Amino acid sequence: MSVMMISEVGGQSPQGYDGMLALVGDVLRQVPGFIMHISHPVAVGWRIVEVWNSEEEATRFFAAQIAPNLPDGIRPKLSFQPLHGLLKP
């Protein structure tokens, strides 16, 4: 079942987000199960929303590619929501 992963990243700056995306963006585009990625600033940092084919694929990517590259003091809070519907092009 497809899921939406929401990452609340307190203390993240636009520069920090851009740096992480530059580091992992190409890998993310090619990893099995990835569907889409969007982000925006929030009052306390940054919010990232991704859609994946499964929670397992999302957490595997996060553990392998994101967690090892996080700067000190940046620890995203992840939550997952199963999707009832997903319309792809």
The pLDDT of residue 89 is: 84
3-38 pLDDT per residue, tens: 999 999 999 999 999 999 999 999 999 999 999 999
Q: Is 88 part of a structural domain of the chain?
A: no
Inside any domain, residue 40: yes
CATH number, residue 14 = 3.30.70.100
In a domain? residue 89:
no
Number of domains in the chain: 1
| Inside any domain, residue 87 | no
Residue-wise pLDDT for 34-80, tens only, equals 999 999 999 999 999 999 999 999 999 999 999 999 999 999 999 99
Q: What is the pLDDT of residue 66?
A: 96
Cβ neighbourhood burial of 26 (10 Å; 0-12, 13-18, 19+): exposed
- Residue for token pair 């590619």: 65
